[in-house]
Amino acid sequence: MTSGGIRRSFTAAAALALASFGSVALAAPGPWQLNMARGASTWSQVPYHLNNIALGVCTVIGVLVFGAMFVAMFRFRKSRGAVAEKWSHNTTVEVIWTTIPVLILITLAYLATGGLTSWADTTGSQMTVKVTGYQWKWRYDYVDYMGKSIDKVGFMSKLDSQSDQTRQLGSGLDPFAVKVGDESTYLLNVDKPLVVPVDTKIRFVITSGDVIHSWWVPATGWKIDAIPGIINAAWANFTAPGTYRGQCAELCGQDHGFMPIVVVVKSKADFAKWLAEQEAHSAAPAAAPQTAQVAAPAVAKQG
Partner 1 sequence: MSYAATHDQHDDHHGAPKSFFQRWCMSTNHKDIGTLYLIFSLTMFFIGGSFAMLIRAELFKPGMQLMQPYFFNQLTTMHALVMIFGAIMPAFVGLGNWMIPLMVGAPDMALPRMNNLSFWILPFAFLLMLSTLFLPGGGPAGGWTMYPPLSLQSDSLAYVVFAIHLMGISSIMGAINIIATILNMRAPGMDLLKMPVFVWSWLITAFLLIAVMPVLAGAVTMLLTDKYFGTNFFNPGGGGDPVLYQHIFWFFGHPEVYIMILPAFGIISEIVPTFARKPIFGYKAMVFAIACIAFLSFIVWAHHMFAVGLPLGAEIFFMYATMLISVPTGVKVFNWVATMWGGSMTFETPMLFALAFIILFTIGGFSGLMLALVPADFQYHDTYFVVAHFHYVLVTGALFAIIAAAYYWLPKWTGNMYSEFWGKVHFWNSVIWVNVLFFPQHFLGLAGMPRRIPDYNVAFANFNMISSIGGFLFGATQLIFVGVVIHCAFFSKKKATDRVWEGAKGLEWTVPSPAPHHTFEVPPVINDDELAHGHVND
Site for partner 1 in 166-185 (CB under 8 A): 166-171, 173-176, 178, 184-185
Shortest distance, position 142 Cβ to partner 1, whole Å: 21
Contact call for residue 78 and partner 1 (CB under 8 A): yes
Rounded to whole angstroms, how far apart are CA atoms 216 and 193? 14
CB closer to partner 1, 9 vs 35: 35
- Least Cα distance to 184 among 216, 162, 151, 208 occurs for 162
Q: Select from 149-157, 250-258, 261-269, 282-290 the region that touches partner 1 (CB under 8 A).
A: 250-258
Rounded CA gap, 180 and 189, in Å?
9
d(CA 295, CA 128): 19
76 binds partner 1 (CB under 8 A): yes
Part of the chain binding partner 1 (CB under 8 A), chosen from 124-132, 186-194, 195-203, 269-277? 186-194
Which of the ranges 125-133, 255-263, 268-276, 280-288 carries the binding residues for partner 1, by CB under 8 A? 255-263
Q: How many residues belong to the site for partner 1 (CB under 8 A)? A: 106
Determine if 122 is a binding residue for partner 1 (CB under 8 A).
Answer: no
Q: What torsion do the CA atoms of 294, 297, 298, 301 make, to the nearest 10 degrees?
A: -120
Residue 138 gets which letter from DSSP? E
Phi/psi of residue 108, nearest 5 degrees: -60, -40
Query: Which CB atom, from 80 or from 148, has the smaller least distance to partner 1?
Result: 80
CA 138, CA 213: separation in Å to the nearest integer?
Answer: 10
Whole-angstrom Cα distance, residue 164 to residue 177?
13
Query: From the list 12, 19, 24, 79, which residue makes contact with partner 1 (rule: CB under 8 A)?
Result: 79
Pick the closest to residue 52 from 38, 33, 42, 39 (CA basis). 38
**C-alpha angle 166-170-174 in degrees, rounded to nearest 5:** 40
Per CB under 8 A, the segment of 43-51, 195-203, 262-270, 271-279 that binds partner 1 is: 43-51
Distance CA 250, CA 223 (A): 10
Nearest distance, CB of residue 268 and partner 1, angstroms:
27
Site for partner 1, residues 220 to 249, rule: CB under 8 A: 221-225, 227-230, 232-233, 246-249
Give strand pairing partners of 208: 133
| Shortest distance, position 44 Cβ to partner 1, whole Å | 8
Shortest separation between residue 10's beta carbon and partner 1, angstroms? 12
